Amino acid sequence: MQLFCKGSKCEFHQTTVEYLGIIVSDKGFSLDKLKIQAVQEWPTPTTVKQVQSFLGFANFVRRFVANFSQIARPLHNLVRKEVKWQWTEREENAFRELQQAIINAPVIVHADPSKPYFLETDASGAALGSVLSQRQEDGRLHPIGYLSESFKGAEQNYDTHDKELLAIIRSFEHWRIYLEGTILPITVFTDHRNLEYWKESRTFNRRHARWHLLLAGFHFQIMYRPGKQSTKPDALSRRADHLDVPPADQAMLPESVFANVSLILPEKEIQARIEKSLDQDESLSEILEHLRNESSAPASIKRAFKDYEMEAGLLFYQGRILVPDAGDLREDLLRIFHDSPMAGHPGRQRTLELLSRAYYWPGIRADVYLHVDGCETCQRIRLPKAKLIPAQPLEIPSRPWQHVSYDMITDLPKDGQYDCILVIVDSFTKFVVLVPVSKKLKAPELAEIFLNRIWKQYGLPEKTISDRGTVFNNKFLRALVTVKRSA
């Protein structure tokens, strides 16, 4: 193969290259000024075709725009076939905001595998947002990419904990090409404190087990950072236009439900009681004393209590509020997370999962299981696992050996090869036939005994009754037919 270059079309020793409207340099990727100028001068669309043309151009540079899909959503909705043309203030605002986002697009830096990655994630009720960054020579974090998605289907019903965790999952999937197999740990910043200890948890539901398996391929650590310090992903996830549907009509609950709810103590009141009761639990005295005098404690003591911290008057263990053994605090929390109408009487594992997200005490699992198993409401309304069949009385025979019952007396002292007794009873006369047998008795051997000791002497019974033991199954009946044919 021969390759030829035309000198007039070649440029050498360049620090920047313009390629399809994108400036590629050693610093990263940025938009060509001509592209920015074209967007800046773009007139307001007046037809569907003009909106499609603008979206086609903007879509080419979407990697430079944080939250592109959500900003452009009103415009995408407008070009649908079933939607009538109507340019309102919402579409105008989306058009102008998208213009400004492209005009002010930042430089997207090159990913450097030798540097650690920083992932900032956040989730709101409607959407998730994240920013992947690396620290550059100026000491500041610069973006490698943006991600913003709306929650779909059942994801909208996830609780806050799972939505925050899903934001991390989606981010790792989106940037897998950069994040999988990194040598240096990836630092994940989240404003949900409980996620700090999620990797150390040993209790998972099915969804968490799948997520845990997916994240096992990434080398990362989760660090808590308050939302006010994570403005970029927070803004991506909390845009007002993530949800296109108007809020649903609010239906009033029956008065009986309000009466029940009023009996359940609010969590804030419980937490105030927890704060006042910390000193009443003697098992916590050493921990509290250390935290109140932490600066003077030796290094060995600090390591021993590294999972404990005080915040707003509450004692936290691995990010969860530690509930002291004082009064009815623990029982009240169990009622909130199991008995209350908001909880809905979940099962053992679900109650433990809900309670453990924010609270902890030694023996919490045993206490939850004991409370759920003893819940009167659950016992009353929970359906049995197997369908109950009412007891049926046995038919009374009209003559001897019309009906026969049989069973085994097992685990007797061994006498030669025998360690069991086969008991056969005539249901009419209660006459008993006892036959010494082995516990290892097989169906053909049982059929032979039945033929010789019952059938030949008393005739064929119309009905046989057993407890459906392993010996008295269909194999016995088939063996009985086989033996009878050969007899």
Q: Average pLDDT in the 392-401 region? A: 85
Could you tell me which of 299, 277, 298 has the C-alpha nearest to residue 288?
Answer: 277
- pLDDT tens by residue, 346-358: 888 889 988 888 8
Higher pLDDT, 299 or 11: 11
pLDDT of residue 254: 44
Tell me the DSSP string of 362-425: TTHHHHHHHHHHT-HHHHHHSPPSS------PPPPPSSTTSEEEEEEE-SPPPBTTB-EEEEEE
pLDDT of residue 472: 66
Can you read off the two tokens belonging to residue 360? 């902890």
Least confident among 71-80, 257-266, 281-290, 381-390: 257-266
Least confident among 265-279, 415-429, 445-459: 265-279
Question: What is the band of 421 on the pLDDT scale with cuts at 50, 70, 90?
Answer: very high
CB 108 within 8 A of CB 144: yes
CB 329 within 8 A of CB 273: yes
pLDDT of residue 202: 60
Side chain identity at 331, as an amino acid letter? Answer: E
Question: What is the band of 256 on the pLDDT scale with cuts at 50, 70, 90?
Answer: very low
**Is pLDDT of 57 > 80?**
yes
CB 400 within 8 A of CB 454: no
Q: Average pLDDT in the 60-75 region? A: 79
Q: Identify the CATH homologous superfamily for domain 16-103.
A: Reverse transcriptase/Diguanylate cyclase domain (3.30.70.270)
Q: Where does 118-240 sit in CATH, by number?
A: 3.30.420.10
Convert 5-64 into a string of H (helix), E (strand) and C (coil).
Answer: CCHHHCCCCCCEEEECCEEEECCCEEECHHHHHHHHCCCCCCCHHHHHHHHHHHHHCHHH
Alpha carbon distance 163, 157 (integer Å) = 9
Question: What is the band of 400 on the pLDDT scale with cuts at 50, 70, 90?
Answer: very high
Contacts of 216 (CB under 8 A, 6+ apart): none
Residues of the chain with CATH 3.30.420.10: 118-240, 403-486
CATH architecture of 403-486: 2-Layer Sandwich (3.30)
**Is pLDDT of 296 > 90?**
no
Residues of the chain with CATH 3.30.70.270: 16-103
- Domain 264-381 adopts which CATH fold? Endonuclease III; domain 1 (1.10.340)
**Is pLDDT of 128 > 50?**
yes
Residues of the chain with CATH 1.10.340.70: 264-381
Alpha carbon distance 166, 151 (integer Å) = 9
Alpha carbon distance 302, 294 (integer Å) = 7
Higher pLDDT, 252 or 98: 98
Question: What is the band of 231 on the pLDDT scale with cuts at 50, 70, 90?
Answer: very low
Higher pLDDT, 270 or 170: 170
Buried b / exposed e along 462-480 (16+ C-beta atoms within 10 A): eebeeeeeebbeeebeebb
- pLDDT tens by residue, 366-378: 999 999 988 888 8
pLDDT of residue 255: 41
Higher pLDDT, 390 or 45: 45
* CA angle, residues 304, 307, 308, in degrees to nearest 5: 95
pLDDT of residue 26: 82
Side chain identity at 38, as an amino acid letter? Answer: A
Could you tell me which of 268, 279, 275 has the C-alpha nearest to residue 312?
Answer: 275
Could you tell me which of 132, 237, 128, 215 has the C-alpha nearest to residue 175?
Answer: 132
Alpha carbon distance 78, 51 (integer Å) = 8
pLDDT of residue 436: 92
Average pLDDT, the chain: 81
> pLDDT over 90 for what percent of the chain?
14
Question: What is the band of 109 on the pLDDT scale with cuts at 50, 70, 90?
Answer: confident
Can you read off the two tokens belonging to residue 336? 């909130």
> pLDDT over 70 for what percent of the chain?
85
